Amino acid sequence: MRKIKVAVMGASGYAGLELVRILARHPGVRLAAVTSREWAGQPLASVFPALTRICDLDFILPDPEAVAGVAEVVFTSVPHQTAMEVVPRLLARDCRVVDLSADFRFKDAAVYEKWYQPHVAQELLAEAVYGLPEIHGYAVSRARLVGNPGCYPTCVILGLAPLVQNKLIHLDSLIADCTSGVSGAGRQASLGTQYCEVNEGLRAYKVAEHRHNPEMEQELSLLAGEPVLVTFSPHLAPLSRGILGTLYARLLRPQSEVEILNFYQNFYEDQPFIRLLPKGSLPNTVNVRGSNYCDIGVRVDGARGRVIVVAAIDNLHRGAAGQAVHNFNLMAGFPETTGLDLVPLIP
């Protein structure tokens, strides 16, 4: 297998770290550079002692031209706004880019600007591919720029796509109740994610006002061919990794769990990272921890006319770095599971 030279910009956050964890063992990759504004000049392993003897690179400054000089493909795991400044410069030097920020996920600049800030690289939005491989895999394989999905949208879209595309449900009835581990909030010090502020607590936050809401609506609307609205409630729970999405919809007509599972089976046929649970089983985030799997279970509440889908992912892996590498594999023409055949860490 040819080794492609890749770089990770923004490797001192949790998603960047997870990228390094995966890429350090990826048989088709030579990790050429890792950047960090804060830690430039220091060994990555001094910031992350867990990677001692695994990655001996030093952090360098996040200079896109320098990075483009050593890498063919760049993962940009920098904050939104920074991404839209960096990515055009990487593309201009013939890098292909998988961007993990929100900057290249939206088709409509107005939607982006409503939820984030002014967009200074709008000319790239039409070209950028929303990097959900089960849905846009072919486009990804030909893309120069992939906008890697947000963690919550990954979970919600994968969980609802077969229902939405097959029009099994009322499209105005969707509710996505999601709970995330704490790593989703990133690695910077803040009071709200201090151990003692999170431990032994459960809370909802940004209900119906989270930035991932328009992202899931964009993609589900595309699948439906008409506007889809989702009431989205994110929660925080005391664990490091994992998102569990419990997704509600009203059925258009009575369906059994077996019938609905059939639609899922067809939709996700041959997808290596989707695991449909047998009737009667529901997923647990720990079963996908450290892996790129999305586990999905389906339950029908017949008496109340609803279907409830439960989907579980590892927010750092499938919800960020693993999915980015999946996109990279598609772009590189590698088998999809290359470097991603990791076994979930239980217990």
**Spatial distance between the Cα atoms of 19 and 13, rounded to a whole number of angstroms:** 10
Residue window 11-50: x/- pattern of binding to a second copy, with contact defined by CB under 8 A: ---x--x---xx-xx----------------------xxx
312 makes contact with a second copy (CB under 8 A): yes
Residue 39 CB, nearest approach to a second copy (Å): 12
Q: Could you write out the three-class secondary structure of 4-51?
A: EEEEEECCCCHHHHHHHHHHCCCCCEEEEEEECCCCCCCEHHHHCHHH
Residue 347: asked if its preceding bond is cis (omega within 30°), the reply is yes
Two tokens, residue 167? 């029009």
126 makes contact with a second copy (CB under 8 A): no
Contact 320, 148 (CB under 8 A): yes
Residues 6+ apart with CB under 8 A from 185: 192, 193, 236
Residue with tokens 């939820």: 115
Among 16, 64, 147, 242, binds a second copy (CB under 8 A): 242
1 makes contact with a second copy (CB under 8 A): no
Two tokens, residue 337? 């599971």
Residues labelled catalytic: 151
Residue window 188-217: x/- pattern of binding to a second copy, with contact defined by CB under 8 A: xxxx-xxxxxxxxxxxxx-xx---------
177 makes contact with a second copy (CB under 8 A): yes
235 makes contact with a second copy (CB under 8 A): yes
Only one of the segments 67-75, 117-125, 137-145, 279-287 lies at the binding site for a second copy (rule: CB under 8 A); that segment is 279-287
Among 40, 109, 111, 175, binds a second copy (CB under 8 A): 175
For 300, the enclosing helix (H) or strand (E) is: strand 294-301
52 makes contact with a second copy (CB under 8 A): yes
241 makes contact with a second copy (CB under 8 A): yes
Residue closer to a second copy, measured from CB, 180 or 327: 180
